[in-house]
Chains A and B, each alone.
Chain A
Amino acid sequence: MSLLPEDDPRLTHFVKQHRPIVPAADPTLEQRIMTLVEKMPRAISSQPSNWQRWRRRGMWLLPTSIAAGLVAISGSQLFLSPQPTETELAELETFIESTWQGTVAEQPTTETEELYPLVGEGAVN
């Protein structure tokens, strides 16, 4: 990643060898800390941690998210499905009209209509 030298072993060894000597803790330090700790006891276990709260929220969010996702997908399919053009609609309308006329006519009026019920009047004349 960089051209920086990773190690300087001689320097590191020197610093480590002559590192500052840490003074020993006051013999009473541990007890001092524990006395302060014991003065502030609390029912920690009854309080869920942020992590636990987050996890719980996450569990509630999961089914909600799935449901919302499904709704979004079905909605998008509804809007994204192809719509027929005006030409196609006109053709469809013409077809339905001609088919419908042939179907609902009670009796053929001419021989041609009887033989070819789906052919329009223009064709007969």
Chain B
Amino acid sequence: MFVVQTESDDNHSEDDDRELVQRSLQGDTQSFRLLYRRHQQRVRAIFYPLCAGSVLDDLVQEVFLRAWKGLPKFRQTAKFSTWLYRIAWNVASDQRQAAAKGRSQLEVLSQHAPLQQNPVDVMHLHYQDLVQRGLVKLSLEHRTVLVLHDLEEFPQREIAEILDIPIGTVKSRLFHARAAMRQFLEKEGVQL
């Protein structure tokens, strides 16, 4: 397991993506492989809070296969990453049922955590579990906006584009998602 580096894939330029898309459209699968390497980590980071970890690889695979099939329909004037994350959102929506059955992060962590922990690590694990449980309590729509905005730091305008909703709806969902998350954490004894 590793901690997601949210900025790790942001250094490449959109121009590079466009070039790789063009080559992929010519049938160059190696260029598509590079697109996968550039974006897979962020796709995983978006997916994981939305869906069960056990199906994460399958969902990532589904996203990139849909992207490959859908490349001819991709408008060259659009941003590739936005288009890709929109596919991810569609896949996540399709998996809504599975998402509702997500396991508690505490179960996952307890399987991997070493037996002896110092108090700081234990608190960190406890808080991680709380955040995960708080996210699971949110509706998929609210959770998605919170993940994209507060964790992945997407601008609201791009979130609106990815989810195909008005920017006012993004603001509204973000407000309600934060309020619900804050209420959950405070109820669990977290002082914010």
B-contacting residues of A (Cβ < 8 Å)? Answer: 1-2, 4-5, 8, 10-12, 14-26, 29-30, 32-34, 36-38, 40-45, 47, 49-51
Tell me, rounded to whole Å, the shortest Cβ–Cβ distance linking A68 to chain B.
28
Interface string of B11-41 (1 = CB under 8 A from A): 0000000000000111101001100110010
Report Cα–Cα, A40/B24, bound state, in Å.
13
Q: Which 8 A-B pairs have the closest CB atoms?
A: A18-B127, A4-B175, A22-B48, A18-B131, A12-B150, A51-B75, A10-B192, A45-B26
Partner of B53, one of A8, A14, A23: A23
B146, B151, B168: the one contacting A1 at CB < 8 Å is B168
Q: How many A-B residue pairs have CB under 8 A?
A: 129
Q: Would you call A25 and B40 a contact (CB within 8 A)?
A: yes
Q: A20–B127 contact, CB under 8 A?
A: no
Pair A19/B26 contact, Cβ less than 8 Å: no
Any chain A CB within 8 A of the CB of B115? no
Distance in angstroms between the alpha carbons of A49 and B70 in the assembled complex: 10
Pick the interface stretch among B54-62, B82-90, B91-99, B157-165: B54-62
B128 pairs with A18, CB closer than 8 A: yes
In the complex, the chain A residue whose C-beta lies closest to that of B63 is: A33
The chain B residues found within 8 Å of chain A, CB to CB, are 1-4, 24-27, 29, 32-33, 36-37, 40, 44-45, 48-49, 53, 56-57, 60-61, 64-65, 68-69, 71-77, 105, 108-109, 124, 127-128, 130-132, 134-135, 146, 150-151, 168, 171-172, 175, 178, 181-182, 185, 190, 192
Main secondary structure of the interface of B (DSSP, over half): helix
Chain A residues, CB < 8 A from B151: 15-16, 19
CB pair B48 A51 closer than 8 Å: no
Residues of B close to A5: CB separation below 8 A: 175
Contact of B44 among A17, A22, A30, A33 (CB under 8 A): A22
Which residues of B have CB within 8 Å of A34? 29, 32-33, 36
Using Cβ atoms and an 8 Å threshold, which residues of chain A touch B105?
20
